[in-house]
C-alpha cells in the first residue's frame, strides 16, 4: 500500500511545485515585459525597472496602512485589491515616464554606454528612495524603526485551498488572482501592440526610429508611451508580487529585476512572447530547484539554463536574429 502511494505522493509534490512555479513565473513575466518593451524601442536595459516595482509595492503597503484595508472583507476587500492595482499602476506609469523624461531623453543621442550608466544610477536612486520610504513611522512599516528590514504585507487575499481542505495539492485565491490579472493584461497588451495606431507606431520606431520620424511619427512621444505602458505593467506586477508573497523589502527590486531580466534574455530580448515564455521557465526552474535540490543552488540552476540556452541559441528562445547594418 505504501509502495502504491509513493508515486502518487511524488506526482502531488511535483504538481504543487509546478503550480507555485507558474504563479511566480507569471509575475516575473509581467516585470520582464517592461524590460523587453523598452529594449525593443531604444535598445536600453532599464535596470531601474525592478526598483520601480519595489516602489509600487511600498505604495501598496502605504495605502493598506492608511485605509486599514487589512480589515476589509467581502466585496470591500475585492474593491481594495482593485484600488491597489489601479493606484500602483498609475503611480509606476507616471514615475517611469518621469524617469525617461529626466534621465534618458536628454541622453537619447549619447553613446549606449552612457545611457546604460544612467539607468544604473537611476536604479540606485530608487533603491534609496525605497529605503527612506521604509522608515516612515507607520504601523505597517514597523513604526519606521528598522527601515532596512523586510516588511510584512497583510494577507488581503484568502489562502484557503480552492481544491478543498482534503486535497493533497494547494491552489489558493492568490494563485487564482495571479492568473486572473496576468493573462488579461498580456492579452490586452498584445492586442494594443498589434491592432492599434500606437502599437503600429511602436513597432515602426522599434524597427527604424529615423525612418519612423521621416514618416511623421513623433518618436519621443512613442517612447514616452512605451515607458508609461511598461511602468503600468510593472505597477500591476508589484501589487501581485506583494499579495502573493506577503513580504516586501527595499532591495527586492534587485532579485525580481534580475529574474525578469534573465527571463527577457532567455526568451529573446525585445520579444514580448519571449519575455512571457522566459518568465514562466524561470519561475518553474526556481520552484523545482527549491523543491528537489536546495534553495542555495537555485541561482546557479537558473543561470546555468540561461547560459546553455544562449550557447545554442544566442538570440534567445523566441528572439529574432537580426542582421547587423553596415
**pLDDT tens track for 68-83:** 998 888 888 899 999 9
Mean pLDDT of 260-265: 91
**Which pLDDT score, from 0 to 100, does residue 4 have?**
47
User: What does the pLDDT read at residue 7?
Assistant: 66
Question: Which stretch of 87-101, 161-175, 243-257 has the lowest confidence by average pLDDT?
Answer: 161-175
5 assigned to some structural domain: no
How far, in Å, are 161, 171, 216 from residue 179 at the CA level?
A: 15, 11, 39
In three-state form (DSSP H/G/I as H, E/B as E, the rest C), the secondary structure along 256-325 is HHHHHHHHHHHHCCCCHHHHHHHHHHHHHHHHHHHHHCCHHHHHHHHHHHHHHHHHHCCCCCCCCCCCCC
Q: Is residue 3 part of a domain?
A: no
Beta carbons within 8 Å of 282's beta carbon, 6+ residues apart = 25, 28, 259, 262, 263, 266, 302
Q: Are 226 and 33 in contact (CB under 8 A)?
A: no
pTM for this model (two decimals): 0.91
pLDDT of residue 2: 46
Q: So what's the pLDDT on residue 58?
A: 97
pLDDT at 243: 94
Note whether residue 113 is domain-resident. yes
The predicted structure's pLDDT at residue 171: 87
Contact status, residue 163 vs residue 170, Cβ threshold 8 Å: yes
Average pLDDT value for residue range 47-66: 95
Domain harbouring 213, CATH code: 1.10.3470
Question: How far is it, in rounded angstroms, from Cα 97 to Cα 103?
Answer: 10
Any domain includes 2: no
Q: Is residue 137 assigned to a domain? A: yes
Angle between helix axes 49-67 and 2-42 (nearest 10 degrees) is 110
| Residues sharing a CB contact under 8 Å with residue 245, sequence separation 6 or more, in sequence order | 153
Domain count, the chain: 1
Per residue in 5-22, pLDDT (tens digit) is 566 678 778 888 999 999
The CB density around residue 94, as the number of other CB atoms within 10 Å, is 15
**DSSP 8-state secondary structure symbol assigned to residue 248:** E
Name the residue with cell 495539492: 169
Q: What is the mean pLDDT of residues 161-168?
A: 79
Residues 283, 275: contact at Cβ < 8 Å? no
279 Rama class: left (phi>0) / alpha (psi -120 to 50) / beta: alpha
Q: Is the Cβ–Cβ distance between 290 and 86 less than 8 Å?
A: no
Query: Mean pLDDT, to the nearest integer, of 165-176?
Result: 84
In a domain, 301, yes or no: yes
Give the C-alpha separation, 274 to 268, whole Å: 5
Q: Which of 68, 93, 42 is nearest to 238 (CA)?
A: 93
CB 29 within 8 A of CB 264: no
Place of cell 499602476: 89
Q: Which residues pair with 152 in a beta bridge?
A: 247
Residue 15: inside a domain, yes or no?
Answer: no
* Domain extent for 154: 21-312
Specify the pLDDT at position 26: 94
**Domain-embedded: residue 303:** yes
Amino acid at each position: 500500500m505504501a509502495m502504491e502511494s509513493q508515486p502518487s505522493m511524488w506526482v502531488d509534490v511535483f504538481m504543487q511545485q509546478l503550480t507555485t512555479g507558474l504563479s511566480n513565473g507569471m509575475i516575473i513575466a509581467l516585470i520582464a515585459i517592461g524590460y523587453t518593451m523598452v529594449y525593443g524601442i531604444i535598445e536600453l536595459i532599464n535596470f531601474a525597472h525592478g526598483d520601480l516595482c519595489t516602489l509600487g509595492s511600498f505604495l501598496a503597503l502605504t495605502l493598506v496602512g492608511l485605509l486599514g484595508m487589512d480589515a476589509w472583507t467581502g466585496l470591500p476587500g475585492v474593491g481594495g485589491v482593485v484600488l491597489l492595482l489601479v493606484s500602483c499602476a498609475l503611480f509606476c506609469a507616471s514615475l517611469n515616464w518621469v524617469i525617461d523624461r529626466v534621465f534618458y531623453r536628454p541622453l537619447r543621442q549619447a553613446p549606449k554606454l552612457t545611457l546604460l550608466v544612467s539607468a544604473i544610477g537611476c536604479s540606485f536612486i530608487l533603491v534609496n528612495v525605497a529605503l527612506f520610504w521604509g522608515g516612515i513611522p507607520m504601523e505597517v512599516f514597523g513604526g519606521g524603526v528598522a527601515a532596512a528590514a523586510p516588511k510584512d504585507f497583510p494577507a488581503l487575499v484568502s489562502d484557503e485551498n480552492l481544491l478543498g481542505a482534503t486535497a493533497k495539492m494547494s491552489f489558493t485565491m492568490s494563485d487564482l488572482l495571479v492568473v486572473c490579472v496576468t493573462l488579461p493584461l498580456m492579452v490586452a497588451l498584445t492586442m494594443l501592440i498589434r491592432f492599434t495606431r500606437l502599437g503600429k507606431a511602436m513597432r515602426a520606431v522599434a524597427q527604424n526610429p529615423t525612418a519612423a520620424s521621416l514618416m511623421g511619427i513623433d518618436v519621443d512621444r512613442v517612447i514616452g508611451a512605451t515607458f508609461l505602458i511598461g511602468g503600468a505593467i510593472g505597477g500591476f506586477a508589484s501589487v501581485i508580487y506583494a499579495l502573493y508573497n506577503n513580504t516586501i523589502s527595499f532591495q527586492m527590486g534587485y532579485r525580481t529585476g534580475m529574474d525578469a531580466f534573465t527571463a527577457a534574455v532567455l526568451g529573446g530580448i525585445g520579444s514580448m512572447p519571449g519575455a512571457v515564455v522566459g518568465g514562466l521557465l524561470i519561475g518553474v526552474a526556481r520552484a523545482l530547484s527549491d523543491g528537489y535540490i536546495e534553495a542555495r543552488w537555485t541561482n546557479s540552476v537558473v543561470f546555468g539554463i540561461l547560459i546553455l540556452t544562449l550557447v545554442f541559441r544566442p538570440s534567445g528562445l523566441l528572439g529574432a536574429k537580426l542582421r547587423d547594418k553596415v
